[in-house]
Structure formats: C-alpha cells, structure tokens
C-alpha cells in the first residue's frame, strides 16, 4: 500500500473525515464541542467545581468513611494521599463530596442555633450563609493559601537526587487538609458547643474555663491535623512549623482565663446579639 493510501485513512487535524483501515473519524476542536451544551456552560469552571452539580459522580460513602477515620485514626486517613498519587498522579482529592457534606452539616448546625436563639428569618438566612461561606469556605481558602505558600516556598526538601521529578504541594491538596482539619473542629465548636450551650453561656468562672478549654483544644487539634496533612507528603521537611500556633493558643488560653474571657459568649454574640 502506498504512503498516499495510508494517509487517506487518518483523520486530519482540521477535523475532516477520513476513511480507510481506521474507519470514518472526525476530530472537532474542544471549544466547539457541545455548542450550547455542557462544555460551553461550564468551560470557566475547573473539573472539581463542575462535579459539585453532578451528585451522581460524587463518592459520599468514601467521604463518610474518611470522616470516621479522621476521628479514630487520622494517620490512616492520610495514607489515602499516597493512593491518590499512585492512581491519579495527584495528591489532592478530585471529588468534592467531602466539601458538600461539610457545607450541609454547617447549614444544619447554623439552623439549629437560629431556632434555639429565636433568630428572625433574615438573621437566620444570614447566619446560615455566613457559617458556610465565611466560617468554612472563605476562611478555609485563606488558611489553605497561607499553608500552601509556606509549604512550597520554605518546606520543600532540597533534592539530593537530581534525576527525581520536582514536586510541589497542590493548592487543592492544601484545601483538602483544611477540610480534614475542620471536621473535628466542627464537631467540637458547632455540635458539642450547641449541646453544652446552657452551661457555657452562664457567666461564671467554670463556664469560662470550660469554654476556653473547648476552644483551645479544638483550635489546637486543627493545627495538629494540619501538621499530619503536610507531613504525609514525602517531599516536605520541617513540617513541625504547623504545630507552632498551638503554643500561641496555649498562651492566649492562659490570658483568657486570667481575664475570665468566655469565647462561647463572644462568638455567639457576633451572630446573635
């Protein structure tokens, strides 16, 4: 068979159809695919965000399993990062199910507080949106960005083998670490605090002591979980940097106790006067 005959059987780069041994094929430019369909509608969104509106593609069972492991065995949960790297060549999760579940939990928790404190409809809507968008998402984006910057610029190990591929912390992995660290905080500062609110809101030394202990432990555990998340990456060193804020929290807890500052009263007064 001549070279001309072979070339007639291959699709051209301009999208023209070809016939021959490979059958009839057509290649279309990506930006034209789908016309007014799904590709054009979501072209400005990354794949991660597109999957949020496609609940059938999210693995909720795995997310609930991961939440359980974060409570009983955090190191087991972070071993999954190696699995992600081996199977998908990325450290971060490509499934937004964990974020969706946490957002729903935050909305339900905020609704419970609004009902308990007799908030108006307008205040309730604001509180629910603020809890999800500010307390969880925006604050998480800010903290994740700071940790991502520190890890990539100051904590990456100097490569002793020049033939190894240079690795960096993905921003989405930093956000995954925040979400993992936030879940235990949610249980302590949103669920447990709600159950103990009659005691924590009493203006007494014992109430202040319990509130300080609750907030101090929850925030310290957040940074400990951050430490586990970044120490799970083999190309990072000196990740104990993420434990330093625990010392600051301990100092602030002592000062708060001396002044009988009640963080529960302070925090809830922001939303409920």
Positive or negative: CA dihedral 71, 73, 75, 77: negative
Q: With 90 as the cut, is the pLDDT of residue 179 above it?
A: yes
**Which tens digits make up the pLDDT trace of 79-117?**
877 777 777 778 888 888 999 999 999 999 999 999 999
Q: Could you give the angle at which helices 171-186 and 97-116 cross, rounded to 10 degrees?
A: 30
**Which tens digits make up the pLDDT trace of 110-152?**
999 999 999 999 999 999 999 999 999 999 999 999 999 999 9
Query: End-to-end distance of the chain based on CA atoms, in angstroms?
Result: 85
Do residues 197 and 114 make contact, with C-beta atoms less than 8 angstroms apart? no
**156, β-bridge pairs:** 236
pLDDT-derived band at 53, boundaries 50, 70, 90: low
Q: With 70 as the cut, is the pLDDT of residue 30 above it?
A: no
- Of the CA atoms within 13 Å of residue 94, those in its CB half-sphere come to 10
Going from N- to C-terminal start, the domains of the chain cover 48-81+95-271
Do residues 106 and 129 make contact, with C-beta atoms less than 8 angstroms apart? no
Using CA atoms, how far apart are residues 210 and 30, in angstroms rounded to an integer?
Answer: 58
**Which tens digits make up the pLDDT trace of 59-75?**
899 999 999 999 999 98
**Both structure tokens of 135:** 């307390």
Say whether pTM exceeds 0.95: no
Using CA atoms, how far apart are residues 219 and 248, in angstroms rounded to an integer?
Answer: 11
């Amino acid at each position: 068979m001549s070279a001309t005959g072979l070339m007639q059987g291959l699709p051209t780069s301009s999208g023209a159809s070809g016939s021959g041994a490979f059958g009839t094929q057509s290649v279309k430019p990506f930006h034209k695919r789908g016309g007014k369909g799904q590709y054009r509608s979501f072209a400005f969104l990354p794949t991660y965000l597109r999957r949020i509106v496609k609940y059938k593609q999210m693995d909720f069972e795995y997310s609930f399993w991961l939440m359980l492991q974060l409570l009983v065995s955090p190191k087991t949960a972070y071993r999954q990062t190696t699995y992600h790297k081996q199977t998908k060549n990325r450290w971060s999760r490509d499934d937004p199910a964990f974020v969706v579940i946490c957002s729903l939990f935050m909305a339900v928790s905020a609704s419970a507080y609004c009902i308990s404190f007799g908030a108006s409809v307008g205040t309730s809507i604001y509180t629910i949106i603020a809890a999800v968008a500010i307390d969880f998402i925006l604050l998480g984006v800010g903290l994740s960005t700071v940790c991502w910057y520190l890890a990539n610029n100051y904590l990456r190990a100097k490569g002793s083998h020049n033939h190894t591929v240079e690795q960096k912390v993905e921003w989405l992995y930093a956000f995954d670490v925040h979400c993992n660290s936030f879940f235990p905080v949610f249980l302590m500062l949103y669920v447990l605090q709600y159950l103990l609110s009659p005691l924590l809101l009493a203006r007494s030394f014992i109430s202040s002591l319990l509130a300080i202990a609750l907030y101090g432990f929850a925030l310290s555990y957040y940074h400990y979980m951050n430490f586990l998340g970044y120490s799970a990456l083999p190309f990072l060193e000196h990740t104990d940097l993420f434990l330093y804020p625990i010392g600051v929290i301990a100092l602030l807890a002592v000062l708060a106790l001396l002044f009988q500052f009640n963080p529960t009263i302070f925090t809830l007064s922001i939303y409920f006067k």
